[in-house]
Amino acid sequence: MRRYLFAILLACISSFSYAQSLTFEELQKMTNLTNDQVHNFLIISKGFKSLGKQIHFGRSFEAFESTRPDPKLKETVLLGVAGEMPSGNIGRQVFYYSARMKDIDVILKQARQSSMTMIFDGSDKQQNIYHFNNTLFMAIISVGLNKSYGSVQLEEK
């Protein structure tokens, strides 16, 4: 009888748990997907909603936001304009923003375990900026100074 109660309790607890919706690898893959593929992935597979075109950093981005009701759990993805690279591949910038530090910590851990090399430039460590690089991708993971938010920037070289 105790096993059944424990199993029911465990099921209830796990149903209220929260997991980030995007992994570092998925963010990497979005850099070379077509617009239709990205829309299908974010909206259908991951439950994001489109916010339309927005201007950030003087550039046009398509914005997506997670559909979670709690603003503390919101995640935002900004997709740059897709362009064809000399190799024939599609490339774009991908920005990911989360006000939940646990999401950024998990992505930072995944980036450290990836094939990318972490590079520190000057005071980056003090400012919580982590550069990752390999022959195909460049990633910058930033943690707010008060550790209340973080962002990931990815692009294909």
Distance of alpha carbon 39 from the chain centroid: 15
Specify the pLDDT at position 108: 92
Q: Is the pLDDT of residue 93 over 60?
A: yes
Greatest alpha-carbon span in the chain:
65
Residue 52: strand pairing partners = 63
Mode of pairing for the β-strands spanning 59-66 and 129-133: unpaired
Q: Is the pLDDT of residue 99 over 60?
A: yes
Specify the pLDDT at position 104: 92
Specify the pLDDT at position 8: 47
32's CB contacts (< 8 A; 6+ apart) are 89, 90, 91, 92, 156
Q: Which two tokens stand for residue 124?
A: 């980056």
All domains in the chain, ordered by first residue: 20-156 (3.30.1460)
Q: Is the pLDDT of residue 79 over 90?
A: yes
As a dihedral over the C-alpha atoms of residue 154, residue 62, residue 91, residue 36, rounded to 10 degrees, the angle is 120
> What is the arithmetic mean of pLDDT over 13-19?
43
Q: Give the position of tokens 């997506």.
A: 64
* pLDDT: which is higher, 8 or 86: 86
> What is the arithmetic mean of pLDDT over 5-20?
44
Specify the pLDDT at position 146: 82
Q: Give the position of tokens 């920037």.
A: 153
Residues of the chain above pLDDT 70, percent? 85
Radius of gyration from C-alpha coordinates of the chain? 18
pLDDT tens track for 36-48: 899 999 999 898 9
